[in-house]
Structure 1
Amino acid sequence: MSLDVGALMLETVPFARTLGVAFDEVADGRALCRLPDREDLHNHVAGPHAGALFTLAESASGAAMLSLLGDQLSRAVPLATGATVEYRKLAKGEVRAEARLSATRDEVVAKLDAGERPVFDVGVELRDGDGTLVSTVTVTWTLRPNRS
């Protein structure tokens, strides 16, 4: 199955499209995404709003997950079930997100095959235009098996 994960994300997650999230690289449980520096996305201290940063991170995590497990969409629905966010520094300029799946494809698919609902994390680092780490996010995902 050939899946254009970035296009799928922009089609199915309108808010990511509204914010202008770009999906630069998506493959093998990893995603590199970016959020443009737009004044309408800024907060009261002239950096990207926390909600925009979270959306970037959550979108990157979903893309990383789909890059490894997108072929399972016919049998399960991916759902984010929780997240931990740490805002470390004020971001300036464009922000880039790098997301990586913590579980292997084999681990997740084995749980689905066993009739279980796999739960796994995707870690995301957000860096501003200078490469400064501005936020870390861990998004917890599950694949809810489709009901027959």
Structure 2
Amino acid sequence: MTTDVGALLLETVPFARTLGITFDSVADGVAVCRVADRPDLRNHVGGPHAGALFTLAESASGAAMLSLFADQLSRATPLVTVSTVKYLKLALGEIVATAHVRADRAAVLELLDAGKRPTFEVAVELRNADGVVVSELTVDWTLRPNR
């Protein structure tokens, strides 16, 4: 059975639904999602609020992570440990996030099998409608073994 990772994330993270995040694609450690330009999400300069941008990026990172590790949810809980964000340009309009897992699945599972708590990085770029990178994020995930 194939898991619809975007639907899983929206089901388990209600705030992402609140922002209206939608998923274009999720597979093989890569996720692409977007948030529409909505007046209720804008900041004082007319673009999406930094919180909306961060949530979009974290949602993309979570979906990318789940595309590789959703089958491990019965034995481990995924958690964010560190996030670093760079706001590079004023974001205006619809924003698209693209996330890439920077880890080898087999290496992560080897650590989990050994009872350890693997950590790995997911890189995310946020682009405006013109394709300009407006923010970059790095999200560090861990798989905490269930007790």
The normalised TM-score by structure 2 is: 0.99
How far residue 107 of structure 1 moved from its aligned partner, in angstroms, is 1.0
Deviation (angstroms), 1:131: 0.6
Per the TM alignment, residue 76 of structure 1 is displaced from its structure 2 partner at its CA by 0.1
Q: d(CA) in 1 for partners of 2:18 and 2:95? A: 16
Paired residues for 1:1-12 under 5 Å: 1-12=1-12
Tell me how large the CA RMSD over aligned residues is: 0.6
Q: What code does the residue aligned with 1:61 have?
A: S
The CA distance in 1 between the partners of 2:53 and 2:8, in whole Å, is: 20
Aligned to 1:47: 47
Counterpart CA distance in 1 for 2:4 and 2:105 is: 18
Q: Distance in 1 between matches of 2:35 and 2:116?
A: 35
Q: Distance in 2 between matches of 1:36 and 1:102?
A: 27
Deviations 1:80-112 (A, max 9, x none): 111000000011110000000000111110100
Residue 19 of structure 1 aligns with an amino acid whose one-letter code is L
Q: How does 1:1-148 map to 2 (within 5 A)?
A: 1-147=1-147
Q: Structure 2 stretches of 5 or more lacking a match?
A: none
Q: Which stretches of structure 1, 4 residues or more, deviate above 6 A after TM superposition?
A: none
TM-score, length-normalised on structure 1? 0.98
Distance 2:88 2:78 in 1: 29
SS class of match (1:99): strand
Deviations 1:11-50 (A, max 9, x none): 1101000000001100000000001100100000000000
Counterpart residue type for residue 119 of structure 2: V
Q: Deviations over 1:100-129 (max 9, x none)?
A: 000011111010011110000100000001
Q: Determine what percentage of the aligned residue pairs are the same residue.
A: 69
**Counterparts of 2:83 and 2:92, CA distance in 1:** 23
- SS state at 1:48 partner: coil
- Cα distance in 1 for residues equivalent to 2:23 and 2:69: 17
